[in-house]
């Protein structure tokens, strides 16, 4: 039996931490003319930190469907729908942030590479932030 | 290395497009009613995510093999527009279609 309260908190807190770390490259890729070592490290760290709760979410999802979703659909159908929206956006956020991290490492020395990385990471951050907001709202209903 | 960057960037866009297309296709074509969750062993989310990843890998590897470094820089230059015109609308559609 999974302790959903604990798993949900770990999942959410890791994701929030990842989004906070991700703000560093999102800002510095726009404000600095070159990619610093710090930007590379925070981008890598953010990609890792965002991937961890995503994988945890994938592992929890089947149990959630079996043990929680039915009750949530009965008591708060809008929250159950928002949960699925959150999952869609999470897939996009992880794909964008991992790609952004690779672009920073592999092409951060070019202007085109920095702009591409910024676009990918910013879109990933926005998807992640929306995912987090939906997650908080769903948790408040669960 | 620029080709690797372009391949990942294009692959990530492909993941987003593939996932959104699959979800919208399911919404349009009909998916098992969410209220049947307990009777439905198929987990559409996993299939969508796995297929989107496969599409991203195929498109990314294909792009990486098909272009040289000069073309990769041009591809990277178009990524911000791709994100704005393709990924952002796809994400907004995902908000509209749970």
pLDDT tens, position by position, for chain B (98 residues)?
Answer: 889 999 999 999 999 999 999 999 888 876 666 666 555 556 788 989 999 999 999 999 999 999 999 999 999 999 999 999 999 999 999 988 87
Cα-based distances in Å from A28 to A4, A32, A90, A126? 37, 5, 24, 16
Cα A32 from Cα A24, distance rounded (Å): 11
Q: How many domains does chain B have?
A: 1
For helices A77-107 and B44-66, the axis angle rounded to 10 degrees is: 20
| B residues 38-57 closer than 8 Å to A (CB) | 38, 43, 45-46, 48-49, 52-53, 56
Please say if the pLDDT value at position A125 is more than 90.
Answer: yes
Q: How confident is the model at residue A1 (pLDDT cuts 50, 70, 90)?
A: low
pLDDT of residue B37: 57
Question: What is the extent of the structural domain holding B35?
Answer: 2-96
Domain ranges of chain A: 4-141
Q: Closest partner residue to B38 among A70, A91, A92, by Cβ?
A: A70
Residue B35 is predicted with a pLDDT of 60
Buried/exposed A22-54: b ≥16 CB within 10 Å, e otherwise:
bebbbebbeeeeebeeebeebbbbbbebbbbbb
Residue A142: what pLDDT?
65
Q: What is the mean pLDDT of residues A43-59?
A: 93
The alpha carbon of residue B11 and the mean position of all alpha carbons in its chain are separated, in whole angstroms, by: 8
Q: Tell if the CB–CB gap between B8 and A62 is shorter than 8 Å.
A: no
Q: Which residue has the tokens 């990486």?
A: B64
The encoded tokens of residue A26 equal 């999102």
| Averaged pLDDT, A97-116 | 95
pLDDT of residue A74: 84
Domain A4-141, CATH class in plain words: mainly alpha
**What's the pLDDT score for residue A69?**
81
All residues at 6 or more sequence positions from B86 whose CB lies less than 8 Å from its CB, including other chains: B13, B16, B17
Residues 67-86 in B contacting A (C-alpha not used; CB under 8 Å): 72-74, 76-77, 79-80, 83-84
Q: Give the residue on B whose Cα is nearest the Cα of A58.
A: B46
Q: B31 versus A96: which is more confidently predicted?
A: A96
Distance from CA of A26 to the nearest CA of B (A): 13
> Of residues A68 and A120, which shows the higher confidence score?
A120
Q: How far apart are CA A55 and CA A64, in angstroms?
A: 14
- Pick the residue with more confidence: A74 or A27? A27
Q: What is the mean pLDDT of residues A12-32?
A: 94
Answer yes or no: are the C-beta atoms of A109 and A35 closer than 8 Å.
yes
The minimum CA-CA distance between B4 and chain A, rounded to whole Å, is 7
**Per-residue confidence band for A2, with pLDDT thresholds at 50, 70 and 90:** low
């Amino acid at each position: 039996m999974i302790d959903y309260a604990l798993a949900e908190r770990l999942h959410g807190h890791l994701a929030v931490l990842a989004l906070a770390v991700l703000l560093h490259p999102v800002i510095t890729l726009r404000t600095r003319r070159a990619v610093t070592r710090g930007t590379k490290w925070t981008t890598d760290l953010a990609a890792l930190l965002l991937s961890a709760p995503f994988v945890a979410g994938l592992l929890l999802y089947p149990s959630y469907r079996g043990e929680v979703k039915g009750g949530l659909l009965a008591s708060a159908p809008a929250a159950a729908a928002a949960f699925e929206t959150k999952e869609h956006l999470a897939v996009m956020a992880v794909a964008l942030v991992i790609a952004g991290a690779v672009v920073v490492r592999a092409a951060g020395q070019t202007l085109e590479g920095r702009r591409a990385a910024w676009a990918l990471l910013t879109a990933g951050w926005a998807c992640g932030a929306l995912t987090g907001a939906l997650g908080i709202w769903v948790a408040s209903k669960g | 290395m620029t080709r690797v960057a372009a391949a990942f960037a294009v692959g990530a866009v492909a993941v987003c497009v593939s996932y959104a297309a699959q979800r919208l296709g399911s919404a349009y074509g009909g998916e098992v009613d969410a209220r049947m969750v307990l009777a439905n062993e198929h987990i559409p989310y996993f299939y969508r995510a796995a297929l989107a990843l496969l599409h991203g890998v195929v498109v990314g590897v294909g792009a990486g093999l098909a272009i040289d470094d000069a073309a990769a820089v041009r591809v990277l230059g178009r990524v911000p527009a791709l994100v704005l015109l393709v990924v952002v609308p796809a994400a907004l559609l995902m908000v509209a279609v749970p």
